[in-house]
Amino acid sequence: MGLISEITNLINEHGSSTILRERVMLLVQKLDNAEKENIRLKQELTDAKAKIRDQDQELKAWREKEQFTEFRGALFKREQSGHYGKTAYCVVCRTPMWSIDFFPYECSRCGFQADFSKKDMDNVFNELLQRHD
Ligand SMILES: [Zn+2]
């Protein structure tokens, strides 16, 4: 029986004051238990939401990590098509790196340098595809 219907019955019944008092005390106890249960469930929900948020972030980081392959001191990213893009990413901060002619690829964010340059890119990229595609 729900609390509201119990209270409605209590109001409609005309029993002795001792019986009424006992019933009221019982209802107060039930209400108290329901409040405690409500608090506990809200806390569980908050904890579960936080856990889901943490796991989402872990999954996102893992997926991102899976997209990259380290090769010749740079990262290459697998595109949604499943093929590698011909862009060298920094192994430290995953920023696309740049290179002019024979100057090694360099990260503009952290200064990291790969061990090959734009001139070498075709060979490096073909080597990557032979090994990883
Ligand atoms: Zn970097």
Distance from the CA of 82 to the center of ligand 1, in angstroms?
24
Distance from the CA of 36 to the center of ligand 1, in angstroms?
52
The pLDDT assigned to 133 comes to: 66
Roughly what angle, to the nearest 10 degrees, separates helices 3-12 and 17-67?
Answer: 170
Distance from the CA of 54 to the center of ligand 1, in angstroms?
25
What one-character-per-residue DSSP string does the chain give? Answer: --HHHHHHHHHH----HHHHHHHHHHHHHHHHHHHHHHHHHHHHHHHHHHHHHHHHHHHHHHHHHHHEEEETTEEEEE-TTSSEEEEEE-TTT-PBPB--TTSEEE-TTT--EEEEEGGGHHHHHHHHHHHH-
Cα separation of 74 and 128, whole Å? 11
Distance from the CA of 96 to the center of ligand 1, in angstroms?
8
The ranges assigned to domains in the chain are 3-64, 72-132
| Token pair belonging to 131 | 């090994």
Cα separation of 95 and 9, whole Å? 70
Distance from the CA of 106 to the center of ligand 1, in angstroms?
8
Burial tier of 74 (Cβ tally within 10 Å: 0-12, 13-18, 19+): buried
User: Which region, left, alpha or beta, applies to residue 62 given φ > 0 means left and ψ of -120 to 50 means alpha?
Assistant: alpha
Distance from the CA of 70 to the center of ligand 1, in angstroms?
14
Distance from the CA of 68 to the center of ligand 1, in angstroms?
14
The pLDDT assigned to 45 comes to: 97
The pLDDT assigned to 60 comes to: 87
The pLDDT assigned to 36 comes to: 96
The pLDDT profile of the chain, 133 residues, written as one tens digit per residue, is 677 787 777 777 766 788 888 888 999 999 999 999 999 999 999 999 999 999 999 998 887 777 899 999 999 999 888 889 999 999 999 999 999 999 999 999 999 999 999 999 999 999 999 987 6
The pLDDT assigned to 10 comes to: 74
